[in-house]
Amino acid sequence: MRNQHNPAATQPQTHPRQFKQRLLKLVLFCGFLILFIFLLARLDSRTADNHKPWHTNFTIAAFEPNGSFLALPYSYVQQHPLANTTFLAKNPEGSKEKNDSDTFSYKVIQQTAQQQLVQTSLRTSHSITVATYQATASTVTPIKSTAYTIDQISMAAVLALISVLALQFLYRFLRRRSPYHQQTN
């Protein structure tokens, strides 16, 4: 008796080796993507030493006497004196929504009696900007700002794809040149 029509028999079968190769490519792509996002952000980092202008989303926390805080752009703080505020946090960390979709958070990393090392994060729909600064009651001294933007993600994806394709080409090239592969052909 002939085998009845089997839909599974007409579908192309993926060999376990092909599946493993595709999975490896996906894992490599994701790893390269993360690596390149961090590398691109690091290349764009701003510090007092590299003399690049601070990121526009460099945001600091200014604390009011009641313990609440404002999330203010560093450029605003440079140009406007703030009355009845301090840059020293009473709480070691805090967060709040800024506008409707932005989130701001701060964390005190180190503290002495007169100053604090503070790290802030401003998350918007287009970027995440992480800033570190030294704060006293009346001053802010920027140390570093790093922005992770959508543009960097696109560029990182292109670089990750190129890297995976280059590794695939290199693997095939070396495999063709290997003595074992030449003997089996």
pLDDT for residue 185 is more than 80: no
The pTM assigned to this predicted structure is 0.74
Phi then psi dihedrals of residue 126, to 5 deg: -110, -20
For residue 174, tell me if it sits in a domain.
Answer: no
For residue 88, tell me if it sits in a domain.
Answer: yes
**pLDDT, tens digit (0-9, with 9 covering 90-100), for 4-35:** 555 555 555 557 888 888 899 999 999 999 99
| pLDDT number for residue 67 | 80
pLDDT for residue 89 is more than 80: yes
CA-CA distance, 124 to 30, in Å (whole number)? 23
Contact 106, 92 (CB under 8 A): no
| pLDDT number for residue 132 | 96
For residue 14, tell me if it sits in a domain.
Answer: no
For residue 64, tell me if it sits in a domain.
Answer: yes
| Tokens representing residue 14 in the block | 């993926």
Element (H, E) at 5: none
| pLDDT number for residue 62 | 94
Helix residue spans in the chain (DSSP H): 7-10, 16-43, 74-79, 150-177, 179-184
For residue 23, tell me if it sits in a domain.
Answer: no
For residue 4, tell me if it sits in a domain.
Answer: no
For residue 172, tell me if it sits in a domain.
Answer: no
Number of domains in the chain: 1
In which domain, by residue range, is 75 found? 46-149
For residue 166, tell me if it sits in a domain.
Answer: no
**pLDDT, tens digit (0-9, with 9 covering 90-100), for 146-170:** 999 888 889 999 999 999 999 999 9
pLDDT for residue 144 is more than 80: yes
User: Which long-range contacts does 99-107 make (Cβ < 8 Å, 24+ apart)?
Assistant: 101/125, 104/59, 104/61, 104/71, 106/61, 106/69
| pLDDT number for residue 137 | 92
| C-alpha torsion sign, points 110, 70, 104, 52 | negative
